[in-house]
């Protein structure tokens, strides 16, 4: 008849020991260091995304400011004549009204294109 002591003895005699402890510790430390590197990269990525967002906002703000200033400047007749001269080869620009429409359309299209490019680049 087996006793509790026999069970204790059985487990003591069959207790597994490892000969590759250093390798195991190295593996765990390796994975921890990989995780730490990943965290650093993630933080850098987040910082970069934040930076990109700031650039996008600054760019949009500047574009709007530029557009407003440009339209105001065009409104000045002295500049208008010069610009009319500059675009005189384009048949559609026959008067200042068409010039404003053309420039506003060009600026709007440019802003839309630039914003789309920035949005697509920052999407991920």
DSSP 70: H
Sign (positive or negative) of CA dihedral 80, 82, 83, 87 = positive
Indicate whether 15 belongs to the interface with other proteins (CB under 8 A). yes
Indicate whether 91 belongs to the interface with other proteins (CB under 8 A). no
Indicate whether 13 belongs to the interface with other proteins (CB under 8 A). yes
Indicate whether 5 belongs to the interface with other proteins (CB under 8 A). no
User: Which range, of 29-37, 59-67, 80-88, 102-110, touches other proteins by CB under 8 A?
Assistant: 29-37
Task: Report d(CA 81, CA 24) in Å as an integer.
Answer: 80
Smaller CB separation from other proteins, 9 or 48: 9
* Nearest of 98, 73, 76 to residue 87 by alpha carbon: 98
Indicate whether 51 belongs to the interface with other proteins (CB under 8 A). no
């Amino acid at each position: 008849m087996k006793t509790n002591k026999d069970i204790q003895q059985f487990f003591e005699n069959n207790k597994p020991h490892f000969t590759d402890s250093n390798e195991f510790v190295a593996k765990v430390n390796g994975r921890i260091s990989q995780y730490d590197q990943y965290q650093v990269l993630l933080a850098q990525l987040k910082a970069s995304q934040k930076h990109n967002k700031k650039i996008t906002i600054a760019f949009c703000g500047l574009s709007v400011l530029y557009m407003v200033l440009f339209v105001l400047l065009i409104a000045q007749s002295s500049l208008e004549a010069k610009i009319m001269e500059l675009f005189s080869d384009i048949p559609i620009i026959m008067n200042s009204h068409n010039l404003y429409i053309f420039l506003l359309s060009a600026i709007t299209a440019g802003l839309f294109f630039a914003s789309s490019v920035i949005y697509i680049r920052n999407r991920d």
